[in-house]
Structure 1
Amino acid sequence: MKPALFDYVRPASLEEALKVLSAGDDAAVIAGGQSLLPMLNLRVASAETLVDISRLRELKTLSETEAALSIGALVTHAAIEDGLGRDSFNGLLQRIASKIAYRAVRNMGTIGGSLSLCDPAADWPVCLLALGATIAIASLEGERCLAVEDFLVDAYTTALEQGELLVRIDIPKQGDCAWGVGKVNRKSGAFADSLAIAVLGKDCRPTRVALGGTASCARLLAGTSAALDRQPGIGADALSGIIAEDVAAAHEDATPYQMRCHVHTVTCAIAEARSWSR
């Protein structure tokens, strides 16, 4: 199947892209196209205009200060996998990037595209939620920043409004970052049935445990995160009950999916256990 007819625009600058996005409410942004093109072909998504931002160099940069790492929206999974920002977060970014789909997809797919799509099973929303990232959004009126938990609204739904474009992700540095990942997928390269990432709090930062693969978008598990801060040596039995409560709240339709809730609970426990080994 092929997509419905659409107009195609390739802006030469960010300002030009924002003008096109502001002109109509049925424009879709395309960069790597690894998710949007299949959706257009299957006609589960449509657009009157495709705005191709793949040549906007200002969105392909990575910068670093003592306080934060800033990643442009068009930085690819492969670039991160190959070492972009390697010295930050003790290799967590490389670990997440390297397990996304396959190399051909990682060569084209972008971190900003993953966040903007907000697939419930995507890896980057969970990772950036666990790291406490901030999302920079541009429009013709200027730039605004949102905490990632405010940017992610629901399955395939973000806080982006008409005329806006995600341009940058700012991640606060956390010193010697201790993290753990628990992931269940049916085969290598497939979307996760469950993905949990735990980043232990250090230097007065709170612990953050995030979960993906639920009925909604990636969610921060507030109870689990707080319990690990209050009692770092909490036993597995005590923690499992808290995780189960958080999972049930995050997986909004938990009752018909007891098996999935169990899987989520296990991946969270694995992520927490592995974080202590670093």
Structure 2
Amino acid sequence: MIYRPFSKTGLVTLPKEARDFLSLGADGGTITIDQLGRFQAKVTGPNSKQDELLPRRRVTDKGQFTIPTTILRAWGVTGKGEVSFHIQEPYLIVSLAGPETSCKLCESTGNLLGHPCIICDGSGKMRLHPMGALGELAMVTMKSRKYGIAFHTQGNDSGIPDVHIVSKSDLPAAYLKLVEVYFKQRLHTNMASDKLYRHIETGREVLASEVGKAFYIEAWTEQKAAGSIPENSSDYEKPHELPINEYIDQGVYVLSQNDEYELVDGE
């Protein structure tokens, strides 16, 4: 994945690989961009036959374009941030990126039992995801093929999925077990309970789930007002109710980016 920062207004620069995929010329061109999932958007170029009915947006000769406000609000973004780009035919996928941090599995060494760590790709650095551990699992699953392994998840009564790994590579069984246990622990910690935050000046306390749900409803309201929700959609009259852990993940992301709030009940 390639990461790029965006401004408060959503201005971001496409990497060269993305411009080439979209067939944008030296003078730029036009693209379409539409919400895809909770923290992603799909982009098409000027020659694409996909999403032809969507409004086209200008890309400058420097490869810059502005992420629509409705998408930023749906992501819960109120300031600067970063996005990642990857190609998923027939679209360029733009994903909201979390902050970079030291890899918790290999302890920043980039090495796991003599092999590159799959979490950080051997760099010692990993990206947190706005959706928490579920998002991190999805990101690692996307690149697992080059490691010769496959992730399988299975639901249970606790609501926290079980993770199992199947390997067709020469990676040792102990390596696979460490990765499996890592995600089981991350998912349990991330999804087991709500998070309490306190406003530093006023002392007002809020739950992450409450903030996450408020942002979700506000984003739905803006998307409906902008005409982005089809009238025949099942969530046209009111937004779908999401699992509590998704509200928590959204709220944690929003509050952790706000210097006016501090976490009360620990990580």
Q: Tell me if both proteins adopt one fold, taking TM over 0.5 as the criterion.
A: no
Task: Write 1 or 2 for the structure with the bigger share of helix.
Answer: 1
Please classify the TM superposition score into its range, dividing by the shorter chain length: under 0.3
The structure having more radius of gyration, on CA atoms, is: 2
Task: Write 1 or 2 for the structure with the bigger share of strand.
Answer: 2
